Structure 1
Amino acid sequence: MTDDAPAGRLTLNLMHFARALRAAGLPVGPGKVLQAVEAVEAVGLSNRTDFYWALHAIFVNRHDQSELFDQAFHVFWRNPDILKKMMSLMLPKARTEAPPDRPEMAQRLAEALHGSGAEQEEPEKTEIELDASFTVSAAERLQDKDFEKMTGEEMAQAKRLLARLALPLAEVTTRRYRSDPMGPRVDPRATLRRMLRSGGELSDLARKRRRTRPPPLVVLCDISGSMTRYSRMLLHFMHAVTNDRDRVYSFVFGTRLTNITRHLRHKDVDVALDAVSGAVADWSGGTRIGTALHAFNRTWARRVLGQGAVVLLITDGLDRDAGEGLAAEAERLHKSCRRLVWLNPLLRWEGFAPKSSGIRALLPHVDDFLAAHSLNSLADLAGVLSAHGPRRSPGLRRWLKEAAG
């Protein structure tokens, strides 16, 4: 890379590089392209490291975007070894399941840099009739697919589905009443008003019943390093839930607790997540679940857990402090809410066992223990929350026995 590179070609390449980053999932707009051109003009092209960090400062807003930017930079700006590796990901073009050792982020990056095939010339299509009675549609496969294994296109489809996801909560009875001709209680005031309107003549008794409304929803989401692969999709889920109903309070935690309720109320999900990234300082770091729950119980519990709130705790239970103080804080949280639901991505593994000290400390104090790794798992959550049943699910007993054993 030298200073005598044609400026026009450099600007064009920066534009194509920004387009590739946007296709790979980074929030890049025209304004950032102009800023990148100004930054490159300021640092020059004599030093590759300065060029790298100038673009990094412009295009990377969150810690979890750094790895994707690094791969894209070395591929786009002519690193032969990585380019050869990325090109190998594109051959063959058959739609097969990625092998376990293949990085999913690299797969999405390859699609962004080389195109998904939509812009290429399509060969002549021959009509072939197939019997699809025993096949599974792409939409059905996407519902069951692990977030970690999704390509860039599949992640975009999943985010659109999450935006339409409804999370109904079983309504709870309040202290207020509403008029109802078939209500179980007599409404004396309404009855007297009715008699006054009729000149004091006797009339039918007015009746009333208690109002019902969905309880508040509180979401506590782990954004530590072990949850990085799922935190982005789960934040989209939290944004959809926040904009679908009132009285939703959202928090994220790694080594500390951060309230992101106000940020997620923005209707535009990209703007909302950019605001969240600016407010959170501990992305992809360690996990101190007990410390985070202590901060929530001390500072926020009385503010947001009134009127029988339901709490969603999203974490894998891998605690940096080995579960120190976690049981006491989880017990206090459980006693302060109507229902405590734990969503754990590790439940996607068939051989999962509650052996971690953090998991063993949390399990006795939750009402439901569910997976959170796919669209179907989040849809199952909706079914659990909308059902009128016992506070503790029967399936939790199995996990408690394994943890005790």
Structure 2
Amino acid sequence: MSTGGPAPALLPVEPDAVATLVADKLAAFLRTLRDNAFAVGLSEGQDAAMLLASGYGDRPALLRAAFKHLFAARKADWEVFDGLFDAFWLGKRVRSRSAISGSTKAANSPSLKNLRNDAAHSGGDTAPDQMPAGDEPGEDRDGVGRMEGASRADNLSDTDFRKIADPAQIAAAHDIAARLARTMRTRLTRRDLARRRGYRLDLRRTIHRNISHGGVPISLVKRRRKEKPLRLVMLLDASGSMSLYTGVFLRFIHGVLDEFREADAFLFHTRLAHVSDAMKEKNPVRALDRLSMMAQGAGGGTRIGESLQTFNRWHAARVIHSRTCVMIVSDGYETGDAALLGREMARLARRCRRIVWLNPMIGWEGYAPEAAGIKAALPHVDLYAPAHTLQSLADLEPYLAKL
């Protein structure tokens, strides 16, 4: 046997061997999650296999994020998932008491990028791990898993904003709020066009045009309705008591300004700020960055009356016409003069078509409008509605369609 010759070339890795090793590791990882009380069933396993087959395995950070959204349906799962993933796939030490099963020592766990090398050395002879007996097709462990994740997603629209703490759910709520504004605009436009199709007959002009025909109405003249689109003017309370709701409403306002042809936005706390230009930035992240620079003092007290006085004096004539709906989003906690708030609300009511006051606290159990500020404002409000969930925002659409 010659020892001075060139080193033998590595044999090409068989695709089936790679697939077998990936399936083995994935099955072991699913068992690890189940051992740590994750609700993982066959459906999640199939989705995870599709992620690996789509190339996510070449980028561990991307795969971790994808797996986290797939498997971590509860807050407790979300908090421990990163440690489990890093310990199993990347060989890092886990800093919790979470059990790591399906592999030997964490230090010997293969990296995601080394799966092909492991397959080459093993030759693909390793027998695939079997799924647990309870994971038959169409069955989830303990009847949960994907069913739980789906129900949580379905119920997001009915969840109070202040109870959404999961970062993924917060991001999802923001995206839904922006899409809601787009959907609302589309439906309102369709209803408006349908309403304008039924033109009324202009009897006087019809008779005048048909005099040459002996008064027989051969040629009909219809009244043409002058188009004046609905304009939304939104005033958002950015005080400390509204901090849990401000983020979702900012995304909703961003969507409104992006979709509605005529819309304006203002932010108020101890003073009023016109934020339409900042919120019309196409990128919502950059829009919020610009907004944070403009809204100095946000998170403090609320002077609603003084803010409305500024709006009525300097902005109302420019942004309000006969088909304007003013939306005020606030809990009504006035730290200034409640009588001033009542007077400015009366001035505003004489200018616009409707005033809608959205109060997140209406959705709280046992809430009653006892604050002096909201008591002074309510006589001039056309619609006083809750705004603590995404569904409550969607419920505004039928009301706006009638304006």
TM-score (norm 2): 0.59
- Match of 2:245? 230
Structure 1: 5+ residue runs without aligned partners? 1-92, 99-106, 193-201, 389-405
Question: Quick one: distance in 1 between partners of 2:248 and 2:84?
Answer: 21
- Match of 1:167? 184
Q: Percent identity?
A: 35
- Match of 1:207? 222
Cα 1:343–1:204 shift into 2, 3 Å: same
Match of 2:384 among 369, 376, 379: 369
Shift of 1:137: 2.1
- Match of 1:147? 161
Match of 1:303 among 295, 318, 328: 318
- Match of 2:57? none
- Match of 2:348? 333
- Match of 2:267? 252
Task: Spell out, residue by residue over 1:91-140, the C-alpha distance to the aligned partner (whole angstroms, 9 max, x if none).
Answer: xx985589xxxxxxxx99x58x94797997698673452689x9872222
Cα 1:119–1:384 shift into 2, 3 Å: farther
Structure 2: 5+ residue runs without aligned partners? 1-70, 90-100, 103-130, 210-216
Task: Spell out, residue by residue over 1:22-55, the C-alpha distance to the aligned partner (whole angstroms, 9 max, x if none).
Answer: xxxxxxxxxxxxxxxxxxxxxxxxxxxxxxxxxx
5 Å-filtered alignment, 1:118-157, equals: 126=135, 127-129=137-139, 137-150=151-164, 151-157=166-172
Task: Spell out, residue by residue over 1:352-387, the C-alpha distance to the aligned partner (whole angstroms, 9 max, x if none).
Answer: 011111111111110111111111111112232224
Shift of 1:307: 2.8
SS at match of 2:338: coil
SS at match of 1:240: helix
Amino acid aligned to 2:229: P
Question: Quick one: distance in 1 between partners of 2:264 and 2:399?
Answer: 20
Amino acid aligned to 2:314: T
SS at match of 2:250: helix
Question: Quick one: distance in 2 between partners of 1:181 and 1:313?
Answer: 33
Match of 2:327 among 309, 312, 316: 312
Match of 2:285 among 270, 276, 281: 270
Contact 1:187 1:207 in 2 (8 A): no
Cα 1:145–1:260 shift into 2, 3 Å: same
Shift of 1:211: 3.4
Q: Look at both structures and tell me which one has the larger radius of gyration over its CA atoms.
A: 2
Contact 1:239 1:264 in 2 (8 A): yes
Contact 2:188 2:397 in 1 (8 A): no
SS at match of 2:235: strand
Amino acid aligned to 2:352: C
- Higher helix proportion (structure 1 or 2): 2
Question: Quick one: distance in 2 between partners of 1:327 and 1:116?
Answer: 57
Question: Quick one: distance in 2 between partners of 1:116 and 1:328?
Answer: 60
Question: Quick one: distance in 1 between partners of 2:331 and 2:220?
Answer: 56
TM-score (norm 1): 0.59
Match of 2:364 among 349, 366, 371: 349
2:201 is equivalent to residue 184 of structure 1: yes
Amino acid aligned to 2:390: L
Cα 1:182–1:347 shift into 2, 3 Å: closer
